[in-house]
């Protein structure tokens, strides 16, 4: 059985970038819903239920067709949100956290530096029509920026056009910002950088 991970900080810890009401509903209702629906889809399928969520969404073609869409949407939702909580931190807003060492070098080398990277990431986030995610991934040792629709992610071989190992992801579903920002997705994207946990992203880059 998959479980909803605890948030590593309180609901109000990311204010003012992300308000407490958004965090409480986003984690406790939306993410919890993906976990519950994933477990429901896998009921009675012990072999699949024993896999990690990464293994499940990375090989959707091995999932029986009758539950494939449910696993794609809810397994994707579970993986994406688990990553999202992890790569944010209230300490970032105090320290002005920034990418360091090897990750910084790779951003310079592959993405034209931090300023250009943030511009391209914002374009990916703003250019995703409707619901989806913007991503920073490692693919063949190189960093890439892109986006996916709905709860798809770059692990979904054979499904997603944008592939790689995600190390940073931004939820651009309206449920991620509408309470606080209403229609202003751009403002949400801009403020979100203030709570990005670059130390954690750096760890994920080193492990990718
Ligand atoms: Mn969400």
At 49-89, the pLDDT tens digits run: 999 999 999 999 999 999 999 999 999 999 999 999 999 99
Going from the Cα of 105 to the center of ligand 1, the distance in angstroms, rounded, reads 30
Q: Give the end of a domain, one of 86, 107, 124.
A: 86
Q: Give the end of a domain, one of 86, 104, 133.
A: 86
Angle between helix 185-192 and 114-127 (nearest 10) = 150
Going from the Cα of 171 to the center of ligand 1, the distance in angstroms, rounded, reads 6
Q: Does a structural domain hold residue 9?
A: no
Same-domain status, 169 and 101: yes
At 4-58, the pLDDT tens digits run: 999 999 999 999 999 999 999 999 999 999 999 999 999 999 999 999 999 999 9
119-125's contacts with Cβ under 8 Å and 24+ in sequence apart are 120/145, 121/145, 121/170, 121/189, 122/186, 122/189, 122/190, 125/170, 125/172, 125/185, 125/189
Q: Does a structural domain hold residue 194?
A: yes
At 109-131, the pLDDT tens digits run: 999 999 999 999 999 999 999 99
Number of domains in the chain: 2
Going from the Cα of 82 to the center of ligand 1, the distance in angstroms, rounded, reads 10
Same-domain status, 109 and 25: no
Same-domain status, 197 and 101: yes
Going from the Cα of 173 to the center of ligand 1, the distance in angstroms, rounded, reads 6
Q: Mean per-residue pLDDT for 178-199?
A: 96
Same-domain status, 110 and 184: yes
Q: Does a structural domain hold residue 5?
A: no
pLDDT at 205 over 90: yes
Going from the Cα of 59 to the center of ligand 1, the distance in angstroms, rounded, reads 22
- pLDDT at position 95: 73
- pLDDT at position 60: 98
Q: Mean per-residue pLDDT for 103-108?
A: 98
Q: Does a structural domain hold residue 49?
A: yes
Same-domain status, 82 and 159: no
Same-domain status, 106 and 179: yes
Q: Does a structural domain hold residue 4?
A: no
Going from the Cα of 176 to the center of ligand 1, the distance in angstroms, rounded, reads 5
* Domain CATH for 158: 3.55.40.20
Q: Give the end of a domain, one of 86, 106, 138.
A: 86
* Domain CATH for 36: 1.10.287.990
Same-domain status, 139 and 199: yes
Going from the Cα of 81 to the center of ligand 1, the distance in angstroms, rounded, reads 6
Same-domain status, 140 and 201: yes
Q: Does a structural domain hold residue 7?
A: no
Going from the Cα of 22 to the center of ligand 1, the distance in angstroms, rounded, reads 10
Going from the Cα of 125 to the center of ligand 1, the distance in angstroms, rounded, reads 14
Going from the Cα of 85 to the center of ligand 1, the distance in angstroms, rounded, reads 10
d(CA 67, CA 175): 25
Same-domain status, 52 and 126: no
Domain encompassing residue 153: 91-207
Going from the Cα of 170 to the center of ligand 1, the distance in angstroms, rounded, reads 9
Going from the Cα of 101 to the center of ligand 1, the distance in angstroms, rounded, reads 30
């Amino acid at each position: 059985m998959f479980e909803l991970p605890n948030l590593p900080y309180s609901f109000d810890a990311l204010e003012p970038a992300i308000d407490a009401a958004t965090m409480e509903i986003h984690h406790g209702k939306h993410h919890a819903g993906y976990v519950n629906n994933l477990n429901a889809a896998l009921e009675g399928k012990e072999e699949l239920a024993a896999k990690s969520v990464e293994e499940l969404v990375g090989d959707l073609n091995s999932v029986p067709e009758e539950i494939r869409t449910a696993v794609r949407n809810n397994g994707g939702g579970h993986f994406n949100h688990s990553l999202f909580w992890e790569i944010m931190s209230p300490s970032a807003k105090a320290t002005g956290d920034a990418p360091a060492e090897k990750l910084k070098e790779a951003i310079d080398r592959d993405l034209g530096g931090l300023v250009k990277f943030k511009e391209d990431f914002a374009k990916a986030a703003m250019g995703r029509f409707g619901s989806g995610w913007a991503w920073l991934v490692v693919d063949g040792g190189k960093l890439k920026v892109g986006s996916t629709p709905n709860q798809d992610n770059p692990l979904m071989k054979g499904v997603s056009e944008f592939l790689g190992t995600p190390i940073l992801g931004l939820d651009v579903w309206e449920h991620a910002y509408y309470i606080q920002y209403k229609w202003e997705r751009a403002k949400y994207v801009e403020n979100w950088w203030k709570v990005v946990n670059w130390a954690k992203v750096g760890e994920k880059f080193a492990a990718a």
